[in-house]
A and B are shown apart, each in its own frame.
Chain A
Amino acid sequence: MSYTPHTPDEQRRMLDAIGVDSLEALFDAIPGRARFPELGLPAPLSELELDAELRRLASRNTGIDAGPCFLGAGAWRHFVPATVDYVLQRGEFYTAYTPYQPELSQGMLQAMFEYQTMICRLTGMEVSNASHYDGATSLAEAVLLALDATKDARTGIVMSPSVHLHHRGVVETYLRGSDAELRVPDDPTVAAADLADMVDERTAALVLQTPNVLGRLERLDGIAEAVHGKGALLIVAVDPIALGLFRPPGEFGADVVVADGQPLGLAPSFGGPSLGIFATRRAHIRRLAGRLVGETADADGRRGYVLTLATREQHIRRARATSNICTNSALGALAAATYLATVGKAGLRRIAELCFHKSHYAADRIAAIDGVAVNPDAPQAPFFKEFVVELPVPAAEANARLHDGHGIVGGFDLGRFFPGYGNRMLVAVTETNTRAEIDRLVAALREIVS
């Protein structure tokens, strides 16, 4: 395939204009020993051949739309309205760069402004940036914001052990460049109030996730007050679908709310690209990482939008920027905005209700199987969309039999996250799972454990 358009005659005219006699002569500055290497790549494919080759590779994968799927743990199967891809495929949006020239970018800028507004309303916060890479990097940047906001020798971060383990891992990586210390208790069922008790005068932030990685909704009453009383910040990671129905962390006094935006209209796509949601208080707006769109007026007084507070950012502030982030996930934010506008107020609430009711139906039916326990550590605690199933056999074995014998993608094997959890799986149920699918899962599990 080639998208370089010059004819030999045009190329000759251009070389003549430049005053060199060959294309190769343009590269004389490169050390001769390293110039024009053989790369040894496979022979180039035509578009027809490429299409066939990648379809062949794709056919060797089984996507989660191929049958009943109960796998979540940080990425989920949610329905994506057709409007989302319609908007994403507009070349005016997806082939644009970051809107540095606002007069030519009002469409994307207004869409980002509206995204920021919807995220503020959903999370109950005052400021949202225009996106991070994913939920894990949003969380890492939230921790860095807390360390910056509470400078006075506060280097401790207390994190709930039921924050997604990959997200915790990214925070650990980001903290390699600092002297901050991450404290995470071992027991994933520890209560939020007990975590708040670990916050001391050296702590910059407490990090919670609700629903947490085991599906449980954390009770946030009084947590922010306790954390603020020690001079630290409260960071809460959420599932944005849950915010359609449940009270947002902003109502409970959280200082930063982060989320992975994949559920809002993004394909799981083997984990990326996703969308990092990041919302905070106005007090922290100058510490915010990432792009921020603001409303203003043009020379004739007409409403318009620009990237604002660029003085926080790397291209202005360089070594003293709030973050190195440049390219983020603008198209993911556009997908989420289109999704939220399409489903709207009643729709997101309805989707969250469907997730709630269907996951509870599944949990009740599975709990009725002899030898199987649901949420064994906290059977009475409220949960959303995901719950823990304890089996008399290893979860990996049960999943293999669900897949091979029943064509079902089972839950996440929690033994991959927590030692001693090898017999536990995290079952995710969304609006996409029908009652018939849930009943098939229940019947299959009954057969597997009998």
Chain B
Amino acid sequence: MTDIPTLYELSVPGRPGTSLPDCDVPPAPLPDDLVRADNGLPELSEPEVVRHYLHLSQRNYGVDGGFYPLGSCTMKYNPKINERLARLPGFAGLHPLQDEASAQGALELMHRLQEALKRIGGFAGMTLQPAAGAQGELTALLMIRAWHANRGEPGRDVILIPDSAHGTNPASATMAGFVAVEVPSDGRGNVDIEAVSAACDDRLAGIMLTNPTTLGLFEERIDEVAALVHAAGGLVYGDGANMNALTGIARPGDLGVDLMHFNLHKTFATPHGGGGPGSGPVGASAALAPYLPGPVVEMDGDGRYRLETPARSIGRMCAFHGNFGMLVRAYASIAGHGDSGLKANAMAAVLNANYLRVKLRDRYPVPFDRTCMHEFVCEGRPDGTRARALDVSKRLMDYGFHPPTNYFPLIVPEALMIEPTETETLATLDAFVAAMLAIADEARDRPDLLHDAPHTTPVRRLDEVRAARELRVAEPGDPE
């Protein structure tokens, strides 16, 4: 296949583009010393622009087009009604600083979402402000920091993080000024309780627990961990990345979790957008709620909604009220499902993951092989061959599937992390199993097919080393 020319390669000097209105006021003198000669943008006709992006879209794989079992990312169906609702002029056309009286419907929606997320997670307070899950982590860690400082214990600077955690956890801990200390996992994929116990001292600020873990397993020792950490004066932070396995199944607030972020795109089906925008609301226990970033939405006695900053708020996390457009979509998902639907989603996600686990485990070893939650991790070297998870992943593309997450979590060699989600049919799951088993055969009989894969995509394997060495991160050319 041939390259798609870039916008700049398509650009022709003087090409007439979009039409704009004439200036209907007398022109004012421009400050000539501040005016630039050339703003450096390309020049294309509108039909060229549309054709360009259509061609680009045809070289992109979304869950609308096929199965996308990217573990920990929860690539489930994004309901089309949600897209329509978020674009209503009464939502999309709202200015963040307009008078609260003229935005009561938006504030009510935010208030309803806050209340629903509190009920789903078992929390007393909720902020919708964080723009993504990682920012939710940072939010909660800054709250933990402020909470200890307010209690006269600013010296608590250690955050415990299991070795199976997402990289965002230690990175967020560093940004919040903590020392990230890794704790190992035990033989069942739970956090090692002895290691936690040994780290419980007067420097302990808290622990970040992902539950279900990134192995897709319910953290069986959650009660013991929470008791140890609380007894030592620390707090338990729940990384809610995998909350989609627990909606209507268990509330983290009932399991000793003091703070937790939700990933609305994972749990409540807002689209991931090719890398965002996301949304990472944070729930807090009654003791921590006063530290939430502001503003949050409160309802007055007369049924009017207003924005208010909590008493001990850590401050703002983003310019306005969070990613409101994503809040509309997430609220729509929750309102459309209710108690029964959210529970059914979690159950179906867990059913699908366990089905794939038992269908694949004879060929792809599953190191922590017990009933999983919404995902599971296997080794991407079938039947003891020397195949690699990367090769299996690339070969899956030739069968029309997006690969699972690979090489994560770090504690499983050649990891393939498989998350089917609740919206896939049995026929799709069986087709994926068939492809994985065929690839296992190929790994034995035709290993070159794996090494050289993919064979059917617009480009073949790309030279990432060259990209990092040459660092061509923009087209060459003088800006002025």
Contact A93 B90 (CB under 8 A): no
Interface centre among A39, A85, A177, A308 (most CB of B within 10 A): A39
User: Does B300 have its Cβ within 8 Å of any Cβ on chain A?
Assistant: no
Contact A4 B348 (CB under 8 A): yes
Contact (A60, B134) CB under 8 Å given A41-B342, A268-B96: no
Once the chains are docked, how many angstroms separate the CA of A174 from the CA of B145?
12
- Within 8 Å by CB of B467, from A103, A117, A296, lies A296
Contact (A61, B106) CB under 8 Å given A101-B402, A324-B138: yes
- Within 8 Å by CB of A96, from B61, B339, B468, lies B61
Contact B274 A176 (CB under 8 A): no
Residues from chain B with Cβ under 8 Å of A361 in the complex: 25-26, 28
Contact A344 B43 (CB under 8 A): yes
User: Does B248 have its Cβ within 8 Å of any Cβ on chain A?
Assistant: yes
Residues from chain A with Cβ under 8 Å of B6 in the complex: 110, 113-114, 117
Once the chains are docked, how many angstroms separate the CA of A353 from the CA of B36?
12
Query: Contacting chain A: which of B70-78, B192-200, B282-290, B442-450?
Result: B70-78
Once the chains are docked, how many angstroms separate the CA of A14 from the CA of B4?
44
Contact B173 A166 (CB under 8 A): no
Residues from chain B with Cβ under 8 Å of A295 in the complex: 467, 470, 472-473
Once the chains are docked, how many angstroms separate the CA of A159 from the CA of B254?
44
User: Does A37 have its Cβ within 8 Å of any Cβ on chain B?
Assistant: yes
Contact A14 B426 (CB under 8 A): yes
Contact A3 B459 (CB under 8 A): no
- Within 8 Å by CB of B166, from A285, A298, A315, lies A315
Contact A435 B24 (CB under 8 A): yes
User: Does A392 have its Cβ within 8 Å of any Cβ on chain B?
Assistant: no
Q: For residue B129, which residue of chain A has the nearest CB?
A: A272
Contact B49 A35 (CB under 8 A): no
Contact (A245, B324) CB under 8 Å given A60-B90, A60-B108: no
Interface centre among B49, B54, B78, B176 (most CB of A within 10 A): B49
What's the minimum C-beta distance from B216 to chain A, rounded to whole angstroms?
A: 12
Residues from chain B with Cβ under 8 Å of A149 in the complex: none
Q: For residue B54, which residue of chain A has the nearest CB?
A: A90
User: Does B158 have its Cβ within 8 Å of any Cβ on chain A?
Assistant: no
Chain B contributes a number of interface residues (CB within 8 A of A) equal to 205
Contact B471 A308 (CB under 8 A): yes
Contact A342 B251 (CB under 8 A): no
Once the chains are docked, how many angstroms separate the CA of A1 from the CA of B94?
28
Q: State which residues 79-109 of B face A: CB under 8 Å.
A: 79, 81, 83-99, 102-106, 108-109
User: Does B231 have its Cβ within 8 Å of any Cβ on chain A?
Assistant: no
User: Does A161 have its Cβ within 8 Å of any Cβ on chain B?
Assistant: no
- Within 8 Å by CB of A107, from B31, B49, B60, B273, lies B60
Q: For residue A127, which residue of chain B has the nearest CB?
A: B473
Contact (A382, B34) CB under 8 Å given A17-B358, A107-B59, A122-B41: yes
Once the chains are docked, how many angstroms separate the CA of A381 from the CA of B55?
46
Residues from chain A with Cβ under 8 Å of B55 in the complex: 107
What's the minimum C-beta distance from A319 to chain B, rounded to whole angstroms?
A: 4
User: Does A92 have its Cβ within 8 Å of any Cβ on chain B?
Assistant: yes
Residues from chain A with Cβ under 8 Å of B106 in the complex: 57, 61, 270
Interface centre among B40, B269, B345, B473 (most CB of A within 10 A): B473
Contact (A354, B44) CB under 8 Å given A268-B93, A319-B170: no
- Within 8 Å by CB of A103, from B23, B348, B454, lies B454
Contact B336 A44 (CB under 8 A): yes
Contact (A321, B171) CB under 8 Å given A271-B324, A344-B41: yes
Q: Mark A59-88, 1 if CB is under 8 A from B, else 0.
A: 111111110010101110100010101110
Residues from chain A with Cβ under 8 Å of B473 in the complex: 113, 116, 127-128, 285, 292-295, 308
Q: For residue B346, which residue of chain A has the nearest CB?
A: A27
Residues from chain A with Cβ under 8 Å of B94 in the complex: 61, 63-64, 268-270
Contact B40 A296 (CB under 8 A): no
User: Does B302 have its Cβ within 8 Å of any Cβ on chain A?
Assistant: no
Contact B274 A61 (CB under 8 A): no
User: Does A329 have its Cβ within 8 Å of any Cβ on chain B?
Assistant: yes
User: Does B142 have its Cβ within 8 Å of any Cβ on chain A?
Assistant: yes
What's the minimum C-beta distance from A321 to chain B, rounded to whole angstroms?
A: 4
Residues from chain B with Cβ under 8 Å of A330 in the complex: 273-277
Contact B91 A61 (CB under 8 A): yes
Contact A51 B93 (CB under 8 A): no
Q: State which residues 161-177 of A face B: CB under 8 Å.
A: 164, 166-167, 169-170, 172-174, 176-177
Once the chains are docked, how many angstroms separate the CA of A14 from the CA of B422?
13
Residues from chain A with Cβ under 8 Å of B59 in the complex: 105-107, 110
Once the chains are docked, how many angstroms separate the CA of A309 from the CA of B92?
35
- Within 8 Å by CB of B325, from A104, A267, A318, lies A267
Residues from chain B with Cβ under 8 Å of A167 in the complex: 319
Contact B462 A314 (CB under 8 A): no
What's the minimum C-beta distance from A402 to chain B, rounded to whole angstroms?
A: 11
Residues from chain B with Cβ under 8 Å of A13 in the complex: 426
Contact B97 A75 (CB under 8 A): yes
Interface centre among B28, B103, B145 (most CB of A within 10 A): B28
- Within 8 Å by CB of A327, from B34, B86, B133, lies B133
Residues from chain B with Cβ under 8 Å of A28 in the complex: 371
Residues from chain B with Cβ under 8 Å of A328 in the complex: 132, 275-277
Contact (A92, B173) CB under 8 Å given A34-B251, A63-B94, A116-B474: no
Q: For residue A172, which residue of chain B has the nearest CB?
A: B315
What's the minimum C-beta distance from B265 to chain A, rounded to whole angstroms?
A: 7
Contact A324 B172 (CB under 8 A): yes
- Within 8 Å by CB of B276, from A57, A282, A292, A332, lies A332
Residues from chain A with Cβ under 8 Å of B167 in the complex: 313-318, 321, 326
Q: For residue B78, which residue of chain A has the nearest CB?
A: A95
Residues from chain B with Cβ under 8 Å of A95 in the complex: 62-65, 75, 78, 271-272
Contact A327 B319 (CB under 8 A): no
Once the chains are docked, how many angstroms separate the CA of A66 from the CA of B405?
46
Q: State which residues 1-49 of B face A: CB under 8 Å.
A: 1, 3-4, 6-8, 15-18, 20-21, 23-28, 30-31, 34-36, 38-44, 46, 49
User: Does A306 have its Cβ within 8 Å of any Cβ on chain B?
Assistant: yes
Q: For residue B50, which residue of chain A has the nearest CB?
A: A83
Contact B96 A303 (CB under 8 A): no
Residues from chain B with Cβ under 8 Å of A177 in the complex: 141-142, 145, 175-178
User: Does B337 have its Cβ within 8 Å of any Cβ on chain A?
Assistant: yes
User: Does B424 have its Cβ within 8 Å of any Cβ on chain A?
Assistant: yes
User: Does A194 have its Cβ within 8 Å of any Cβ on chain B?
Assistant: no
Q: Mark B457-480, 1 if CB is under 8 A from A, else 0.
A: 111111110111011111101011
Q: For residue B407, which residue of chain A has the nearest CB?
A: A315
Once the chains are docked, how many angstroms separate the CA of A256 from the CA of B338?
46
User: Does A273 have its Cβ within 8 Å of any Cβ on chain B?
Assistant: yes
Contact B250 A35 (CB under 8 A): yes
Residues from chain B with Cβ under 8 Å of A69 in the complex: 95
Q: Mark B333-353, 1 if CB is under 8 A from A, else 0.
A: 011111111111101101110
Contact (A58, B276) CB under 8 Å given A34-B255, A116-B473, A319-B173: no
Q: State which residues 281-330 of B face A: CB under 8 Å.
A: 293, 314-326, 328
Q: State which residues 404-452 of B face A: CB under 8 Å.
A: 405, 408, 422-426, 452
24 of the cross-chain contacts (CB-CB < 8 Å) are A3-B79, A39-B248, A44-B337, A57-B109, A74-B320, A92-B64, A92-B65, A96-B60, A101-B61, A103-B461, A104-B61, A114-B475, A120-B479, A133-B132, A133-B135, A144-B175, A177-B178, A248-B479, A268-B94, A270-B325, A274-B319, A296-B470, A325-B135, A345-B41
Q: Which 7 A-B pairs have the closest CB atoms?
A: A271-B320, A121-B40, A63-B93, A58-B90, A271-B96, A330-B275, A60-B105
Additional A-B contacts beyond A41-B116, A73-B97 (8; CB < 8 A): A36-B249, A39-B342, A92-B58, A133-B323, A269-B325, A271-B322, A330-B273, A344-B44
